[in-house]
């Protein structure tokens, strides 16, 4: 089957998609071929160094799941009406820094260093009641809190552990209260205030493992991507006034988007607002 024309766009960015004739991307990746490779075309269009970045592709611009497989691409498995939209195939290039790249070594060490210092600070703080929790729905409401958001501690991937709640900042501030409200959802991420690991209320309450591929390094890359890119209009966390939002507030939005996705779980203790509004209360995975 002939390959359809592509609408190629970088994953989770507000950029306009590029129209790519199908004849230019007949293969996904063939080591012996120098032309007609989807990967080569993506590296060229988005100006990425293949020695520093890896890339995979999605057909939806939401969370990182359901990536395209080279074998199915090369055999034409994605080119029927079940995948096409108005005769074209939407493709989203998702780039990630390679573990040994010179770019990732500096950015990840900085992010992980902040995670260590923030985790030490959390251990010295008292336990606060769930009434102090706030939801990420408040990123559009006025707040006076100006604390810096904290990066997630190293996640574990197994059950049987005591549930530990981690502090997640509200993504609102008094200076950005005028930002437009994102599309309302029944799924919201709340702030779980500084619970110590020995919290008796949480003993014996186990949590599910993190999804495959969710590591401290992956978190650092996704966090960096979220804090510099505005979600597409209609998606969770989108801001029409993105260009006017400060760096600190963008970090709060990035944390909220991570908790809303694979990095978050339902909170063991729902905050008052989520209970009142009937939302699912979410926090960072322990």
Domains defined for the chain, CATH in brackets: 6-97 (3.10.20), 127-284 (no CATH)
Predicted local confidence at residue 172, as pLDDT: 41
Q: Which of 133, 107, 136 is nearest to 219 (CA)?
A: 107
Q: List the pLDDT tens digit at each of the 286 positions of the chain.
A: 566 777 877 787 777 777 777 766 767 665 544 334 788 888 888 888 888 888 888 888 878 877 887 777 777 777 777 788 888 888 888 988 888 777 654 554 444 445 444 444 444 444 333 333 434 444 544 444 444 444 444 443 334 333 344 434 444 433 333 333 333 344 554 443 333 333 333 333 444 556 666 777 777 778 888 888 888 888 888 888 888 888 888 888 888 888 888 888 888 888 888 888 888 888 887 6
- First-to-last alpha carbon distance for the chain, in angstroms, is 47
At 252, is the secondary structure helix, strand, or coil?
A: helix
Predicted local confidence at residue 284, as pLDDT: 80
Rounded to two decimals, the pTM is 0.35
Predicted local confidence at residue 196, as pLDDT: 30
Q: How many CB atoms lie within 10 A of CB 53?
A: 17
Q: CB–CB of 221/104 below 8 Å? A: yes
Q: CA-to-CA distance for 183 and 236, rounded, in angstroms?
A: 6
| Strand (E) or helix (H) holding 89 | strand 89-97
Q: How many CB atoms lie within 10 A of CB 94?
A: 18
Give me the half-sphere count of Cα atoms (radius 13 Å) on the Cβ side of residue 284: 29
Joined tokens for residue 149:
């958001």
Q: CA–CA distance from 223 to each of 24, 29, 131, 204, 219 (Å)? A: 33, 28, 28, 30, 6
Predicted local confidence at residue 141, as pLDDT: 45
Predicted local confidence at residue 206, as pLDDT: 46
Joined tokens for residue 97:
């820094």
Predicted local confidence at residue 30, as pLDDT: 54
Q: CA-to-CA distance for 79 and 88, rounded, in angstroms?
A: 9
Predicted local confidence at residue 50, as pLDDT: 83
Q: CB–CB of 68/59 below 8 Å? A: yes
| Strand (E) or helix (H) holding 53 | strand 53-58
Predicted local confidence at residue 181, as pLDDT: 38
Q: CA–CA distance from 56 to each of 75, 92, 134, 215 (Å)? A: 17, 8, 35, 17
């Amino acid at each position: 089957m002939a390959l359809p024309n592509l609408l190629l766009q970088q994953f989770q960015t507000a950029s306009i998609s590029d129209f790519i004739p199908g004849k230019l991307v007949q293969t996904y990746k063939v080591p012996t071929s120098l032309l007609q490779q989807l990967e080569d075309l993506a590296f060229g269009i988005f100006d990425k160094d293949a020695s520093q970045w890896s890339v995979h592709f999605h057909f939806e611009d939401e969370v990182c799941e359901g990536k395209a497989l080279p074998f199915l691409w090369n055999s034409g498995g994605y080119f029927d009406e079940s995948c096409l939209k108005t005769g074209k195939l939407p493709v989203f290039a998702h780039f990630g820094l390679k573990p040994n790249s010179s770019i990732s070594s500096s950015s990840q060490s900085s992010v992980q260093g902040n995670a260590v210092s923030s985790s030490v600070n959390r251990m010295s703080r008292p336990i606060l009641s769930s009434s102090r929790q706030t939801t990420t729905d408040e990123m559009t409401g006025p707040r006076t809190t100006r604390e810096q958001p904290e990066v997630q501690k190293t996640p574990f991937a197994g059950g049987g552990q005591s549930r530990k709640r981690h502090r997640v900042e509200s993504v609102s501030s008094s200076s950005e209260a005028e930002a437009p409200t994102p599309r309302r959802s029944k799924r919201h991420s709340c702030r779980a205030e500084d619970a110590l690991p020995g919290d008796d209320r949480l003993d014996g309450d186990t949590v599910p493992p993190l999804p495959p591929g969710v590591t401290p390094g992956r978190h650092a890359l996704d966090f960096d991507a979220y804090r510099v890119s505005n979600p597409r209009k209609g998606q969770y966390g989108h801001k029409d006034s993105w260009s006017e939002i400060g760096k600190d507030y963008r970090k709060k939005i990035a944390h909220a988007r991570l908790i809303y996705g694979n990095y978050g779980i339902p909170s063991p203790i729902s905050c008052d607002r989520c209970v009142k509004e009937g939302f699912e209360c979410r926090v960072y995975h322990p």
